[in-house]
């Protein structure tokens, strides 16, 4: 029997790319996101190309309770999740006090609360089976505060701290947790966050989703705890530790500002 992966945010971008990596290794997949049409298309393509089983469970992960419903739906089908990928996430550009309050709450729910809940729900089964791997999507944003995207950066800092701590707790259990930190990536993310015209996206090297998916998938399968994608991003994550925080916030603000 094939092993099974659960991938959130599977309708586009990095999540959609990761599906092909699992499928190529003959791993069945449970996919979730809000866009049912995109999920259906992905399921059709994967089944036709790789002959694996794909289960589609649409969910709006900004709604408290959806993580529990998703878990229940998977349990009901008798599926044991061997690989959990908490990839769903989004950002929002603008000063915090003018940002839509509901959107800020939703971001914390999707990027942080749902990720914690799904991890808490699926991890005990993995530990009991002494087998399982979890991939948490953070970002290089996790390594410093991010003016003009304050909540987004803070959610990713949470994911990094949480993942490194739990990964340590899991030592010797047979289960691993990997925290993937990409820099800017060409996906729907920047347009959705109204962030395309920032210096970060205009001036830095922007990776492709397949590159990041390849790197993240390898890190997951190797059980690497911290996986920062790309040389520049590794450098950024490292030198940031030696620069005063009050200087870093100013540099990050400049990078975040829109050009022109
Ligand atoms: N692109 C970058 O520059 C970059 C850099 C570092 C880290 N990341 C992280 O990488 C992850 C994937 O993003 P991406 O770049 O691939 O962007 P993307 O193409 O916009 O994909 C985001 C995914 O998250 C899902 N999602 C968003 N809100 C959701 C909700 N309320 N309920 C359920 N699913 C939801 C989306 O599906 P639906 O809209 O169909 O619900 C979509 O499948 C995110 O966690 C992001 O923070 C991205």
CA of 9 to the centre of ligand 1 (A): 6
Minimal CA–CA distance to 181: which of 14, 7, 10?
14
Cβ of residue 211 lying under 6 Å from some atom of ligand 1: no
The pLDDT value recorded for residue 203 is: 75
pLDDT at 196: 82
pLDDT at 225: 98
Residue 194 pLDDT: 86
At residue 126, the pLDDT reads 98
- Write down the pLDDT at residue 63: 98
For the chain, domain boundaries = 4-256
230 pocket-lining for ligand 1 (C-beta < 6 Å): no
Flag residues of the chain having pLDDT under 70.
Answer: 260
Residues 6 or more apart in contact with residue 108 via CB below 8 angstroms: 151, 155
Ligand 1 atom having least distance to the Cα of 89? 45
CB of 142 within 6 A of ligand 1: the answer is no
Q: What is the pLDDT of residue 260?
A: 56
- Which of 12, 34, 89, 113 to mutate to test ligand 1, by most ligand atoms within 8 A of the CB atom? 89
Residues in the chain: 260
- Token pair belonging to 28: 């069945």
3-class secondary structure, 240: helix
The CB of 34 under 6 Å from ligand 1? The reply is yes
Q: Annotated active-site positions, please?
A: 152
CATH for the stretch 4-256 = 3.40.50.720
Predicted local confidence at residue 252, as pLDDT: 93
**What's the rounded Cα separation, in Å, for the pair 87 and 110?**
10
User: Sign (positive/negative) of CA torsion 23, 221, 86, 203?
Assistant: negative
Helices (H) and strands (E) in the chain, counts: 11, 9
Strand order in the sheet with 54-56: 54-56, 28-32, 4-8, 83-86, 132-137, 175-181, 226-228
């Amino acid at each position: 029997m094939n092993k099974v992966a659960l991938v959130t945010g599977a309708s586009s971008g990095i999540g959609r790319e990761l599906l092909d990596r699992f499928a190529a290794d003959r791993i069945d997949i449970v996919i979730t996101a809000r866009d049912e049409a995109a999920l259906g298309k992905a399921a059709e393509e994967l089944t036709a190309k790789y002959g694996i089983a794909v289960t589609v469970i649409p969910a709006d992960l900004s709604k408290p309770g959806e993580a529990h419903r998703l878990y229940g739906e998977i349990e009901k089908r008798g599926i044991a999740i061997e690989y959990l990928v908490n990839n769903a996430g989004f950002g929002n550009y603008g000063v915090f006090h003018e940002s839509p309050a509901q959107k800020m709450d939703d971001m914390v729910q999707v990027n942080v609360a749902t990720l914690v809940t799904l991890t808490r729900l699926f991890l005990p089964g993995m530990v009991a089976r002494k087998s399982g791997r979890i991939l948490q999507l953070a970002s290089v944003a996790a390594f410093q505060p991010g003016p003009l995207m304050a909540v987004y950066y803070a959610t990713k800092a949470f994911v990094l701290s949480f993942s490194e701590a739990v990964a340590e707790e899991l030592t010797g259990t047979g289960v691993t947790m990997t925290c993937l930190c990409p820099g800017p990536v060409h996906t729907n993310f920047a347009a959705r966050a109204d962030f395309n015209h920032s210096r970060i996206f205009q001036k830095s090297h922007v990776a492709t989703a397949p590159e990041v998916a390849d790197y993240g998938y390898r890190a997951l399968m190797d059980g690497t705890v911290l996986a920062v994608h790309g040389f520049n991003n590794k450098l950024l994550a490292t030198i940031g530790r030696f620069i005063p925080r009050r200087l870093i916030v100013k540099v990050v603000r400049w990078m975040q500002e829109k050009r022109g």
